[in-house]
């Protein structure tokens, strides 16, 4: 997995930063998570291919998380896309997009599917051969979800040196070996799979926690993830504003990361009142050591 940051700031516009949007790369496939204004400009700037995106996940219907979506969908029409797009978002986004298309007489020439979300509980919303996506119910001023993306375990790797010790193991058997099966010899004896294969790399996981108050009950859902993105709109000295607007502080994000025993924490959605994002790292690192900030153009590999 690789996480590419397209935008990481809160709603107030600034000349050098963009609102929330990011790409999660899984084996050459791109998942778009939130689509703040200017998102497609950022895709162009950092040379991400539009047509690699098949699935889009929108956390909630505040503009700094989806105002870039209609422009992107329109551009796909102009570049001749014919593959489907699937959008997972709260109830209401479909009506917003369809009204925009209707009033601007925009015809979409590719299949567009909306999967509207309304459940207050975590649910499995997408399963492919390679990964699953579940919602992380958050608490903000309107209905909001985060998203948990988990790789499925990969196939085991052949230990070719070990396999070559047994001439009767032909290439037709390799697929079964990779899937963890033992090999049965002609005399009925068994060669255990562990002797012939190597373990696959550990499956990776990513949790995206968009706008939310400090919400410890998400901890079981994100336990032990490799990378956690958690909003940190405010510093602790403005905790009263975080409570009032239903956002989190950097310290609170770090407390979530620590209690969930995640491997690494990325902070984002910074308020424009602060002159340096590294103030957030300083505050969070006093609670949880493995922390960094999101920044446009930054990539996290894990």
Both 189 and 121 in a single domain? no
End-to-end CA distance of the chain: 6
The angle subtended at Cα 237 by Cα 232 and Cα 243, nearest 5°, is 60
Are residues 7 and 128 located together in one domain of the fold? yes
Q: Please tell me whether residues 113 and 224 are part of one structural domain.
A: yes
For residue 12, name the pLDDT band (cuts at 50, 70, 90): confident
The answer on 148 and 60 residing in a single domain is yes
**Sign of the dihedral through C-alpha 194, 226, 151, 136:** positive
Mean pLDDT for 164-172 is 92
Final residue belonging to a domain, choices 198, 221, 250: 198
Residue 28's pLDDT is what? Answer: 87
Of 203, 149, 156, which Cα lies nearest the Cα of 175?
Answer: 156
Tokens (6 digits) for 130: 């390679």
State the pLDDT at residue 78. 93
Last residue of a domain, one of 171, 198, 225: 198
pLDDT at 217: 97
Q: Is 27 helix (H, G, I), strand (E, B) or coil?
A: coil
Confidence label for 118 from pLDDT (cuts 50, 70 and 90): very high
Do both 144 and 270 map to the same domain? yes
Indicate which residues carry an active-site annotation.
64
Question: Are 186 and 270 within one domain?
Answer: no
The total domain count for the chain is 2
* 148 in the same domain as 37: yes
The per-residue pLDDT of the chain, averaged, comes to: 96
The tokens of 247 are what? 């956002």
**With bands split at pLDDT 50, 70 and 90, how would you rate the model's confidence at 15?**
confident
Same domain, yes or no: 230 and 265: yes
Burial of 119 (0-12, 13-18, 19+ CB in 10 A): exposed
Q: Check whether 13 has a pLDDT greater than 80.
A: no
Residue 194 and residue 245 in one domain: no
Return the percentage of the chain with pLDDT > 70, whole number: 100
The residue segments making up the domain with residue 181 are: 157-198
């Amino acid at each position: 997995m690789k996480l590419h940051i397209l935008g990481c700031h809160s709603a107030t516009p600034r000349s050098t930063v963009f609102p929330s949007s990011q790409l999660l790369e899984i084996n050459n496939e791109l998942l778009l998570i939130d689509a703040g204004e200017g998102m497609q400009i950022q895709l162009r700037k950092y040379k991400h291919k539009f047509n690699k995106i098949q699935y889009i996940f929108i956390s909630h219907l505040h503009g700094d998380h989806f105002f870039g979506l209609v422009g992107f969908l329109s551009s796909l029409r102009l570049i001749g896309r014919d593959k489907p797009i699937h959008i997972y978002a709260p109830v209401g986004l479909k009506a917003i997009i369809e009204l925009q298309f209707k009033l601007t007489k925009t015809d979409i020439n590719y299949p567009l599917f909306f999967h509207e979300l309304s459940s207050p509980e975590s649910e499995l919303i997408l399963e492919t051969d390679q990964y699953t996506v579940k919602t992380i119910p958050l608490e903000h001023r309107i209905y909001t979800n985060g998203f948990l993306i988990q790789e499925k375990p990969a196939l085991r790797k052949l230990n070719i040196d070990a396999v070559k010790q047994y001439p009767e193991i032909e290439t037709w058997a390799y697929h079964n070996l990779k899937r963890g099966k033992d090999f049965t010899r002609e005399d009925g004896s068994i060669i255990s799979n562990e002797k012939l294969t190597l373990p696959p790399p550990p499956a990776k996981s990513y949790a995206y926690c968009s706008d939310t108050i400090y919400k410890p009950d998400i901890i079981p859902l994100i336990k032990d993830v490799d990378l956690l993105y958690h909003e940190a709109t405010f510093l602790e000295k403005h905790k009263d504003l975080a409570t009032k607007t239903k956002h989190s502080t950097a310290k609170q994000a770090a407390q979530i990361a620590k209690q969930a025993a995640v491997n690494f924490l990325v902070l984002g959605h910074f308020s424009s009142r602060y002159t340096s994002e590294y103030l957030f790292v300083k505050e969070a690192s006093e609670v949880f050591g493995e922390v960094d900030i999101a920044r446009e153009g930054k990539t996290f590999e894990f």
